[in-house]
């Protein structure tokens, strides 16, 4: 983590990964600039596996460094090894997946073990993988849950950091389900990341105190 001043705690460096428009990325950047992550984190880079992803232009407009590497036609482990090399240049403390439409290889996960976060628009015990809002809508669920979890080598199987309900009663269209879900996603992701950073800061302080004793 890079220091921000002589007496201030270091800010966590975030690498935010996306493949599309990056609405969760925007919410995270706004939280860094003027919300719950202000003073706690900084955006080291916004990366995409799609060089013309709209989210990259948005990130640049928000003042964030950006990088990309096309995954088209690439073998997963080989591509991920190159992405790891790119990201490590930015020294991230956390890799934050924000609509990154890739299943990560063990090569990637082991490089950032315990430091990769994902947000999933369902209870990961009930639904893994893509199309979670469609699943909730098709099954007429009165409620779904937004899950923030650490990423392990399974598909949406990592330790859960936070879950928040989304009331779907009266949501007559898939678009309305998504609207309600994204509103929760955009708030919960930043709040969970802020809590995690504070928790790790506290643990570091406790370790330093015990060491000095």
Nearest C-alpha neighbor of 1 from the set 45, 41, 47: 41
- CB environment 38-60: b (16+ within 10 A), e (fewer): eebbbbbbbbbbbeebebbebbe
Distance CA 109, CA 151 (A): 7
Tokens, residue 20? 């599309």
Q: Which residues are catalytic?
A: 120
Tokens, residue 114? 């315990």
Distance CA 102, CA 90 (A): 20
Contacts of 53 (CB under 8 A, 6+ apart): 18, 19, 20, 21, 22, 68
Total residue count of the chain as it appears in this document: 213
In contact, 121 and 133? CB cutoff 8 Å: yes
């Amino acid at each position: 983590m890079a220091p921000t001043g002589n007496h201030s705690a270091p800010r966590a460096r975030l690498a935010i990964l996306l493949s599309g428009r990056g609405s969760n990325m925007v919410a995270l950047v706004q939280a860094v600039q003027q919300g719950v992550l202000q003073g706690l984190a900084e955006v080291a880079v916004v990366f995409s596996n799609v060089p013309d992803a709209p989210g990259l232009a948005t990130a640049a407009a928000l003042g964030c460094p950006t990088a990309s590497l096309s995954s088209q036609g690439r073998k997963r482990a080989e591509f991920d090894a190159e992405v790891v090399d790119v990201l490590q240049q930015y020294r991230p403390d956390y890799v934050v997946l924000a609509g990154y439409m890739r299943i990560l290889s063990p090569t990637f996960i082991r490089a950032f073990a315990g430091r990769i976060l994902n947000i999933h628009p369902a209870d990961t015990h009930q639904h893994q993988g893509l199309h979670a809002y469609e699943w909730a809508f098709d099954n007429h669920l009165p409620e779904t849950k937004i899950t923030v979890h650490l990423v392990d080598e399974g598909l949406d199987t990592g330790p859960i950091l936070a879950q928040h309900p989304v009331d779907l009663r009266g949501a007559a269209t898939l678009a309305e389900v998504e609207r309600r879900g994204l509103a929760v996603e955009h708030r919960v992701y930043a709040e969970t990341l802020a809590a995690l950073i504070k928790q790790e800061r506290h643990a570091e302080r406790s370790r330093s105190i015990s060491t000095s004793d």
